C-alpha cells in the first residue's frame, strides 16, 4: 500500500513507450513550460549517449487528476493531435531532452532546431553504420545532421554528399535514425539494394545488435509526482530541477492554472500594467507625468495584493482563517477571487501612487521600499473613499514613515504585510497601534551608515526633506514633480566631497546622509568642490538671490546658517543631525533616544559597520 504522505515515485520506463505516449498526447507540457531551444550539437550528443547506453538524466513528470492543480496542457513541439486530449502526465523536467528525442526519433519529419549562432534550422539525423561499430571512433562523430533536402553542400553551394533517396542512404551505409524503433523495412530494402551481400548483411546485423537495440531497450529514469502533490510544491520542485535555469514565478503558474479555464491572465496583466502607467497632472505647467513610482510594480506584486484582499474577505466568513500573501496562498487564489479583486487592487496601486506623490516620492528609483507598496495598495483598496479623511490619512502617513525609518520592509516581508493590513485597518477604526508603528526604532548611530541609495531610510530622509519644504538652492522654488524631473533633482553633498578630503574630514562624516540634501544637477555643478561659503557667494552673484533669501533656502534644508557660512563642518554636522532626528520624530510620531558623540563612536567601532555599505560618488 502506498504511503499517503508520499508525493512521488521513482521508476524506469522504456524510451519508446515514453515517446509513444507523447505522440498520443498522454504526456504533455503544462502551459508555463518555455519553448524548445536545444541546438543541433546538443541533439547529436544526446543521440550518441543513448546509442552507447549512457545515462541522460532523470525525467520528472506530474501525474494529473488533482482538481487543485489544473494546468492548460500543451503538446510537445511537433505533436499533432486531432482533438484536445487531457494528458495523464505533465513533463516538469526533461522537456528539452524528450522534445529532442521525439523530433529526431519519432516524428518522421526533420527536427526543428538551431545552429551554434541561434539560427533556426531543420535537420534529419543519420548514423554511419560502419564507423559506429569502430571502438576507436567517437560516437558523436558518426551521428550526422542533414539539411531538410538531405544534401551536404560546400561553401560554393555545390552538393558534395547526397542522402536524399533511400538508395543513396543504402549506398552511403547511413541509417536514418527515424527508423530506429522499426528498422525492418529499411533493413529489407538495404539488403535488397546490396543483393544480400554477406558483408553488408553482417554489417547491419552487428549494427542492429549494438546500436539499434540500444535505442529499443533504453530505459529512462522517471520521477513521478503523484496527484496529491500540492501546487506550491510543484512550483518549488520545478524551480529546483529546471535545468534551463529559468525561475518559475507564481504568476506563470497561475497563468497556466487559469488558462485551464480559458482565462488569459497574462493579457489581463498587460492591461492592468497599462492602467498603472496612467497619467496625472503635475501642477505647475499642467504637464502630464506618468506614475513612474509604479514602474517596478510586477505581476506578482498585484497577485500578492489580490491575495491579501481575498484572504481578508475569507477571514470575515471564517475568523480563524489567516490573512496572508505568501507563495502558497497566492497559488491557492481562485479565478473568481482574482476577477473579484483585480480591478480594485489596480486602483489601490494608483491611490498608493498618489499618496507617495504627496510624500514627495516621485519615482521608483527613490521609493524606499518597493515591498511596502503592497500592503499600502491593499489598505487603500479596502478603505476606498475613507482614505481621503484627514484623520485616516494622518495615521497612514505615520504608519508609512515608521515602516521606512524603522527599516521594517527589507527582505521577505509577506508576514508583516498581512499583519499590517489587518492592524492598520483596526487602528483606523479605533484599535491599537499596528506593530510596525510600535516596532519602529530609529537610532542616531544609523546616520553614520546611511551613505548610499541602497538604504530605505536614506531615500526616505531625502523625500522627507523635499516634502517638508526643501527649496531649490538656485531658483528658491519648492521642489515639485515638475522640477524634480526637469532639473534632475538628486541627493548631493552640502560640504563637497573634494573640499572635505582636502580639509581632512573623515568619510564617515562627509558621506553621511547628514551632509547630503536634494540639489539640482545644475546647482551641483556650480557647487563643484568649493567651500560652502564660496559657492553660496557664487550662487548669490550668478542668480541675484539676496542674502535673506539664501538664509531662507538653507533653513528649508535644516542647515544652520552660521555653521555653513563659516565653513564649520562639525558644528554644521552636529546641529543638522539633531534637526534631522526631529524631522524623523515628527514623521513617525516616535521619540528617538539621543546618544553622545562619544557613545556613538564607541558603538560604531565595536560593531565595525563602516564597511557595510560602499561609498557612492554623488
Spatial neighbors of 245 by CB under 8 A, at least 6 apart, are none
Q: What's the mean pLDDT in 106-114?
A: 91
What are the grid coordinates assigned to 231, written together?
501546487
Query: End of a domain among 432, 463, 481?
Result: 432
% of the chain with per-residue pLDDT over 70: 91
Judgement on whether residues 576 and 452 belong to the same structural domain of the protein = yes
Q: What integer best gives the mean pLDDT of the chain? A: 87
Judgement on whether residues 233 and 274 belong to the same structural domain of the protein = no
Query: To 10 degrees, the CA torsion angle through 419, 421, 426, 429?
Result: 170
Q: What's the mean pLDDT in 368-389?
A: 95
Q: Which of 242-256, 275-289, 398-412 has the lowest mean pLDDT?
A: 275-289
Q: State pLDDT tens for residues 548-563.
A: 999 999 999 999 999 9
% of the chain with per-residue pLDDT over 90: 60
The CA-atom distances, in angstroms, between 488 and each of 484, 492, 524, 553 are 6, 12, 10, 18
Judgement on whether residues 390 and 288 belong to the same structural domain of the protein = yes
Q: Would you say residue 38 lies in a domain? A: yes
Length of the chain: 618
| Cβ pair 462, 475 in contact under 8 A | no
| Cβ pair 139, 182 in contact under 8 A | no
What are the grid coordinates assigned to 325, written together?
500573501
C-alpha torsion sign, points 196, 197, 198, 203:
negative
Burial 374-394 (b: 16+ CB within 10 A, else e): bbbbbbbbbbeeebeeeebee
| Cβ pair 246, 34 in contact under 8 A | yes
509/421 Cα distance (integer angstroms): 38
31/47 Cα distance (integer angstroms): 27
Query: To 10 degrees, the CA torsion angle through 183, 184, 185, 186?
Result: 40
- For residue 61, which of 8, 21, 19, 2 has the smallest C-alpha distance? 8
Judgement on whether residues 277 and 358 belong to the same structural domain of the protein = yes
Q: State the Cα angle at 126 between 123 and 130, rounded to 5°.
A: 160
pLDDT band at 162 (very low <50, low <70, confident <90, very high): very high
What is the DSSP secondary structure assignment for residue 432, as one 8-state letter?
P
Judgement on whether residues 484 and 594 belong to the same structural domain of the protein = yes
Query: End of a domain among 210, 233, 267?
Result: 210
Q: Would you say residue 158 lies in a domain? A: yes
144 bridge partner residues: 126
Report the first-to-last Cα separation within the chain, whole angstroms. Answer: 68
The SS3 assignment for 69 reads coil
pLDDT at 364 over 90: no
Q: What's the mean pLDDT in 456-480?
A: 86
Number of domains present in the structure of the chain:
4
pLDDT at 118: 84
Q: Would you say residue 330 lies in a domain? A: yes
The phi-psi region of residue 25 (left if phi > 0; otherwise alpha if psi is between -120 and 50; otherwise beta) is left
91 bridge partner residues: 61
Judgement on whether residues 452 and 390 belong to the same structural domain of the protein = no
Q: What is the largest CA-CA distance in the chain?
A: 111
- For residue 132, which of 144, 124, 122, 123 has the smallest C-alpha distance? 144
300/298 Cα distance (integer angstroms): 5
| Cβ pair 12, 224 in contact under 8 A | no
- For residue 105, which of 76, 133, 134 has the smallest C-alpha distance? 76
C-alpha torsion sign, points 275, 276, 278, 281:
positive
pLDDT band at 242 (very low <50, low <70, confident <90, very high): low
Q: What's the mean pLDDT in 230-247?
A: 63
Q: Would you say residue 525 lies in a domain? A: yes
Judgement on whether residues 511 and 414 belong to the same structural domain of the protein = no
| Cβ pair 460, 401 in contact under 8 A | yes
Q: State pLDDT tens for residues 178-192.
A: 999 999 999 999 999
Q: Would you say residue 420 lies in a domain? A: yes
| Cβ pair 10, 225 in contact under 8 A | no
Prediction pTM value: 0.74
Judgement on whether residues 234 and 303 belong to the same structural domain of the protein = no
What are the grid coordinates assigned to 312, written together?
481578508
Q: State pLDDT tens for residues 85-98.
A: 999 999 988 889 99
pLDDT at 280 over 50: no
Q: What's the mean pLDDT in 523-541?
A: 87
What are the grid coordinates assigned to 24, written together?
498520443
Judgement on whether residues 532 and 553 belong to the same structural domain of the protein = yes
What are the grid coordinates assigned to 564, written together?
555653513
Domain extent, residue 96, equals 8-112+218-241
How far from the centroid of its chain's Cα atoms is residue 531's Cα? 44
DSSP E strands, 341-477: none
pLDDT at 228: 84
> Higher model confidence: residue 412 or residue 400?
400
pLDDT at 4: 52
Judgement on whether residues 283 and 410 belong to the same structural domain of the protein = yes
Q: What phi and psi, each to the nearest 5 degrees, are found at residue 80?
A: -120, 110
pLDDT at 616: 34
Q: What's the mean pLDDT in 223-242?
A: 75
323/417 Cα distance (integer angstroms): 9
236 bridge partner residues: none
Q: Would you say residue 555 lies in a domain? A: yes
Q: Would you say residue 407 lies in a domain? A: yes
Tell me how crowded residue 593 is: count the other CB atoms within 10 A of its CB: 9
pLDDT band at 511 (very low <50, low <70, confident <90, very high): very high
| Cβ pair 362, 481 in contact under 8 A | yes
Q: Would you say residue 543 lies in a domain? A: yes
Q: State pLDDT tens for residues 315-340.
A: 999 999 999 999 889 988 999 999 99
pLDDT at 18 over 50: yes
The SS3 assignment for 391 reads helix
Judgement on whether residues 572 and 543 belong to the same structural domain of the protein = yes
pLDDT at 33 over 80: no
Q: What's the mean pLDDT in 461-484?
A: 81
Query: End of a domain among 409, 432, 455?
Result: 432
What are the grid coordinates assigned to 399, written together?
504608519
129/143 Cα distance (integer angstroms): 9
Judgement on whether residues 461 and 542 belong to the same structural domain of the protein = yes
pLDDT at 274 over 50: yes
Tell me how crowded residue 248 is: count the other CB atoms within 10 A of its CB: 20
- For residue 444, which of 356, 348, 576, 329 has the smallest C-alpha distance? 576
What are the grid coordinates assigned to 29, written together?
507540457
Amino acid at each position: 500500500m502506498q504511503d499517503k504522505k508520499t508525493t512521488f515515485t521513482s521508476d524506469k520506463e522504456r524510451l519508446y513507450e515514453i515517446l509513444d505516449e507523447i505522440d498520443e498526447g498522454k504526456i504533455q507540457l503544462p502551459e508555463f513550460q518555455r519553448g524548445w531551444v536545444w541546438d543541433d550539437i546538443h541533439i547529436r550528443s544526446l543521440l550518441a549517449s543513448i546509442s552507447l547506453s549512457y545515462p541522460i538524466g532523470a525525467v520528472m513528470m506530474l501525474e494529473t487528476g488533482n482538481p487543485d492543480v489544473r494546468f492548460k496542457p500543451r503538446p510537445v513541439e511537433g505533436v499533432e493531435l486531432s482533438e484536445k486530449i487531457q494528458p495523464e502526465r505533465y513533463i516538469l523536467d526533461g522537456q528539452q531532452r524528450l522534445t529532442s528525442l521525439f523530433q529526431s526519433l519519432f516524428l518522421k519529419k526533420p527536427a526543428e532546431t538551431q545552429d551554434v549562432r541561434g539560427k533556426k534550422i531543420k535537420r534529419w539525423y543519420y548514423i554511419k553504420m560502419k564507423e559506429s561499430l569502430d571502438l576507436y571512433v567517437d560516437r558523436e562523430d558518426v551521428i550526422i545532421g542533414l539539411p531538410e533536402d538531405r544534401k551536404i553542400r560546400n561553401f560554393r553551394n555545390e552538393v558534395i554528399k547526397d542522402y536524399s533517396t533511400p538508395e543513396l542512404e543504402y549506398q552511403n551505409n547511413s541509417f536514418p535514425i527515424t527508423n530506429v524503433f522499426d528498422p525492418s523495412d529499411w533493413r529489407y530494402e538495404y539488403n535488397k539494394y546490396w543483393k544480400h551481400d554477406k558483408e553488408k548483411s553482417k554489417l547491419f546485423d552487428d549494427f542492429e545488435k549494438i546500436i539499434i537495440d540500444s535505442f529499443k531497450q533504453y530505459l529512462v529514469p522517471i520521477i513521478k509526482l503523484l496527484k496529491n502533490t500540492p501546487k506550491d510544491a510543484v512550483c518549488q520542485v520545478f524551480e529546483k530541477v529546471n535545468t534551463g535555469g529559468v525561475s518559475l514565478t507564481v504568476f506563470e503558474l497561475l497563468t497556466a492554472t487559469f488558462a485551464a479555464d480559458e482565462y488569459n491572465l497574462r493579457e489581463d496583466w498587460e492591461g492592468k500594467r497599462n492602467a498603472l502607467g496612467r497619467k496625472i497632472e503635475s501642477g505647475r505647467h499642467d504637464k502630464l507625468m506618468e506614475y513612474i513610482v509604479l514602474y517596478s510594480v510586477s505581476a506578482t506584486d498585484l497577485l500578492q495584493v489580490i491575495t491579501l484582499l481575498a484572504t481578508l474577505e475569507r477571514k470575515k466568513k471564517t475568523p480563524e482563517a489567516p490573512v496572508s500573501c505568501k507563495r502558497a496562498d497566492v497559488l491557492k487564489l481562485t479565478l473568481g477571487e482574482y476577477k473579484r479583486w483585480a480591478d480594485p487592487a489596480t486602483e489601490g496601486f494608483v491611490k498608493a501612487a498618489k499618496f507617495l506623490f504627496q510624500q514627495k516620492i516621485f519615482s521608483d528609483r527613490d521609493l524606499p521600499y518597493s515591498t511596502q507598496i503592497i500592503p499600502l495598495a491593499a489598505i487603500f483598496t479596502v478603505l476606498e473613499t475613507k482614505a481621503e479623511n484627514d484623520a485616516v490619512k494622518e495615521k497612514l502617513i505615520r504608519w508609512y514613515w515608521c515602516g521606512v525609518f524603522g527599516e521594517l520592509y527589507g527582505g521577505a516581508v509577506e508576514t508583516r504585510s498581512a499583519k499590517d493590513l489587518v492592524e492598520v485597518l483596526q487602528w483606523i477604526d479605533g484599535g491599537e497601534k499596528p506593530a510596525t508603528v510600535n516596532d519602529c526604532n530609529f537610532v542616531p548611530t544609523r546616520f553614520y551608515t546611511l551613505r548610499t541609495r541602497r538604504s530605505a531610510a536614506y531615500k526616505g530622509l531625502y523625500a522627507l526633506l523635499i516634502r517638508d519644504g526643501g527649496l531649490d538652492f538656485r531658483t528658491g522654488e519648492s521642489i515639485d514633480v515638475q522640477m524634480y524631473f526637469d532639473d534632475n533633482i538628486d541627493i548631493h553633498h552640502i560640504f563637497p566631497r573634494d573640499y572635505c578630503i582636502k580639509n581632512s574630514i573623515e568619510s564617515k562624516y562627509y558621506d553621511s546622509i547628514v551632509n547630503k540634501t536634494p540639489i539640482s544637477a545644475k546647482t551641483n555643478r556650480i557647487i563643484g568642490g568649493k567651500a560652502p561659503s564660496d559657492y553660496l557667494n557664487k550662487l548669490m552673484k550668478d542668480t541675484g538671490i539676496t542674502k535673506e533669501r539664501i538664509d531662507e533656502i538653507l533653513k528649508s534644508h535644516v542647515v544652520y546658517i552660521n555653521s555653513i557660512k563659516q565653513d564649520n563642518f562639525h558644528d554644521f554636522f552636529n546641529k543638522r543631525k539633531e534637526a534631522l532626528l526631529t524631522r524623523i520624530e515628527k514623521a513617525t510620531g516616535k521619540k528617538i533616544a539621543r546618544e553622545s558623540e562619544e557613545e556613538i563612536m564607541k558603538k560604531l567601532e565595536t560593531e565595525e559597520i563602516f564597511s557595510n555599505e560602499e561609498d557612492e560618488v554623488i
